[in-house]
Amino acid sequence: MAKSLVSISDLEKNEIKEIIRRAGELKDLKKREESPKSLKGMSVGLLFEKQSTRTRISFESGLFDLGAQAIYMNPSDTQIGRGETIADTAKILSSYLDGIIIRTYGQEKALELAENSTVPVINALTDLEHPTQIISDLFSVSEQGIDPEKFKLAFLGDGNNIANSFVAASAIMGFELSVAVPPGNEPSPTIMGEAKELGNSEIEVTCDPAAAVRDADVIYTDVWVSMGEEGKGTKVFSPFQVNERLLSSCHRKPLIMHCLPAHRGEEITAEVMDSPRCIAFTQAENKLHVGKAILEFCLQP
């Protein structure tokens, strides 16, 4: 049944595992220049209120691969830009489209769109969450031979949308998570509370980056200043930079991950970012294959 994906918590473990499995199939098919036209004849709108390179283009290209049409909507070119409500917009777009992909600020806006749409809505990033990124990253982890249910991920930097979605994903999948952030930059208390209630995994929030990475299989970082936070100070984040000195405190040889865009010299050094242990560009490619698996999961009747 067609369903929305507003939060990663909308999914159960088996559903995430199925998306990961299907993404592998779609990636193999793409390498053979084949793609099933599983969404043939569908139209999907992309409403992006923030910039995007990877998410938007991979969804647009993925929709084409699957036989569907992508319609990009710049909010300022639509009546939303002149104050038409999200609820009215949702009703109208539902009568033209088979699905809507939204990137916006407040999570409540994505929720409101989903609640008032009769077609599935996919969250392509809000201030609170980035569910499609984290599902894609779990695929990238599994592709490296790591069991996405049994590994330790250390997230360093800001307790932002990526960190929040990892907290929720850890509670669903069961992998161990250590989030190392400067005091006052912790992940969302609501998402932390929900994860604790599920009680499926070990989630630690610390301000000691060396302790977080010590026995990690994967070290993950993201920008210190997310979209919409321009002007925020970054000085407090400098001890959380992923650099060779920090990596020397690891017991294992962890994979380095970054959702991109990267700011070399801030959250990660150029040396680490451009080293073979960093799989950021593979992560970016995988957004295409996983995005297609998510589209099939959400849109197929």
**Which range binds ligand NVA by CB under 6 A, 9-17, 77-85, 209-217, 219-227?**
219-227
Applying CB under 6 A, the residues found at the interface with ligand CP are 52-56, 125, 133, 259-260
We find the least distance from the C-beta atom of residue 95 to ligand CP, in angstroms, to be: 28
Distance CA 184, CA 292 (A): 37
> Where does this chain touch ligand NVA (CB under 6 A) — which range of 10-18, 85-93, 222-230, 268-276?
222-230
> Least distance in Å: CB of 109 to ligand CP?
17
Q: Which does 222 bind (CB under 5 to 8 A by kind): ligand NVA, ligand CP, none?
A: ligand NVA
Residue 13 exposed, middle or buried by CB count within 10 Å (0-12, 13-18, 19+): middle
Residues from 176 through 195 that contact ligand NVA (CB under 6 A): none
Among 104, 140, 160, 241, binds ligand NVA (CB under 6 A): 160
Q: What angle, rounded to 10 degrees, do the helices at 280-299 and 54-65 form?
A: 50
With 0-12 / 13-18 / 19 or more C-beta atoms within 10 angstroms meaning exposed / middle / buried, residue 298 is buried
Phi/psi region, residue 196 (left: phi>0; alpha: psi -120 to 50; beta: rest), is alpha
Least Å from the CB of residue 108 to ligand NVA: 16
Query: Does 267 help bind ligand NVA (rule: CB under 6 A)?
Result: no
For the stretch 19-53, what's the b/e string if a residue is b when 16 or more beta carbons lie within 10 angstroms of its beta carbon? Answer: bbebbbebbeebeeeeeeebbeebbbbbbbbbebe
CB of 109 vs ligand NVA, minimal distance in Å: 15
Q: Which does 137 bind (CB under 5 to 8 A by kind): ligand NVA, ligand CP, none?
A: none
Q: In the set 259, 273, 290, 298, which binds ligand NVA (CB under 6 A)?
A: 259
Indicate which of ligand CP, ligand NVA, none lies near residue 178 (CB less than 5 to 8 Å, by partner kind): none
The span of 110-118, 154-162, 182-190, 290-298 binding ligand NVA (CB under 6 A) equals 154-162
Q: Is 255 helix (H, G, I), strand (E, B) or coil?
A: strand
- Are the CB atoms for 218 and 261 separated by under 8 Å? no
**Residue 14 neighbours by CB distance under 10 Å:** 9
Q: How many residues does the chain have?
A: 301
- Contacted by 53, from ligand CP, ligand NVA, none: CB < 5 to 8 Å by type: ligand CP
Q: Which is nearer to ligand CP, 116 or 126 (CB)?
A: 126
Kindly state the smallest distance separating residue 136's Cβ from ligand CP, in Å: 9
Q: How far apart are CA 255 and CA 30, in angstroms?
A: 25
Helix axes 13-31, 131-143, angle to 10 degrees: 70
> Given the complex with ligand CP, which of 125 and 138 has the nearer CB atom?
125
Residue from 23, 39, 70, 162 binding ligand NVA (CB under 6 A) = 162
Decide if 127 contacts 191 (C-beta within 8 A): no
Q: Is 227 in the site for ligand NVA (CB under 6 A)?
A: yes
Distance CA 55, CA 140 (A): 15
In the complex, which residues of this chain contact ligand NVA (CB under 6 A)? 125, 160-162, 222-223, 226-227, 259
